[in-house]
Structure 1
């Protein structure tokens, strides 16, 4: 092909890029490193006219090269982890990211931005104000504002002043700061159990008997009132249904409950439970609610344990729907107490 050998590999690359630039969605040079982008731009700057025969030869060679490609790998750790998705364990993923950070490969800032909220807040409270200012400058605005709002008033003022000095920081220095933050985040203590202790205790007490639940909460109130408050907010029992469940979800909940269980729960004599029962009935059609009331009257005397088990079954059904994303519970107010 005449003229093809007259172009170097860089010039051929420049021809392909020039052709692709006519389609804004077809090419992005941002994945190339800075040196490669510079070399490509310099090569293009030194070129003028390429004849049609040479252009066609370059395109044919490029297409032949594409057809010869069997498998393409990302070429960097972040891309590889994204490709593997959830195939690796969390520990293996963390270890790979730590090794990459220590060796200086890749951009550390996307990994800094992906750190858990607690880790970011811990770094914001422990690192120098200059480091925190750079971190706020690199984080997405939403995460940065959330982190800034968690600072003490004096520290927030100091960080804001330090942000005025971030304009002149070099890319190399910014890269090193990102690595320092990743290494600092890695040294933070990580709990072996992710769920907060108050939430775990609250989830357990959801299915305890009322007298046991009250006894445990009274003891916690005496020993650690703050922890007891967290447990109370995590508890969701039958009497909380009017405050935590939206009326529009009642029919969906009732469909998942066997009618004998529903009837026993609706027959609970406690005033708070009776109010929850009335709330459930109000969310049903008039005909269905009247039918349930008639069947409740025909139940006869129920044992307390039968009623307690039925209430627990209804709470469990609501929790299952919540976990499946079929309904959203209303969050309790801070001063909500267990009835």
Structure 2
């Protein structure tokens, strides 16, 4: 049959083919629910691909489903604590070779668009050619950049644009083909490359929070104040994500010691169950030998725990850090800032 797949290796398939096989594997009921969340254009493309797919054997279905699961799992860990955290957790569960294969695949998902070329351009140049574009176009372009580049670009935009652009990115979902075409026109003015239309969620409050962490404190505070005037709820959500549990490694020793005064040993033990070694070392090195041994024993005593319970404890500790900052007891500099954390 012409539509049969030649082998059982998902790596030989493109994204549309994998998506078609995934929908076939999910069955009609689940697939229909997925399609409801897509645009008409996406449905047409996938429907045509499904029609071309023909018979898919069980082995290939399972391989595509496994790849999809691994990718979503990796993306979840990356969103939670960054690439290093994802690598550490996945290596413990799946081994080094399989982990690297998964992460290489995840990292490669964003390649092949004009935005890749922007990574080689300095933030000021990007800001200069974007500043006269419509604010939504600016937001859509920046939403495709890594937060480490997005933050500095926002910082180079005119002050009156900064909070508006940050807000648009924070509330952004899937762009329409028309809007994607507008972005293509903007990029074609400055870089020579084909733009591959990718209809995925490009923005979000977490991405804005990560970008704000790349610029100095005074500037991100001004941007958030401007966002609060536009939408207080979105601004609050961005602020709540600007410090996460794994960012404890960014604090200096005196700051960590100040934080430890506010946290019960059991709460800390639960939070450290799924923490990186770097975070554990940061905490333990700021405790007395006796207290550190007690904490290690508490962690061992807890035994296996649900991830949701561990993440809840980590969130409460991150909330404590933000409270201490608001009280003026600690000051958290932006990751891109040149100053160190100051503890009064």
For the superposition of Structure 1 and Structure 2, which TM-score range results when normalised by the shorter chain? 0.3 to 0.5
Q: Return the TM-score normalized by structure 1.
A: 0.34
**Structure label with greater radius of gyration:** 1
Q: Return the TM-score normalized by structure 2.
A: 0.34
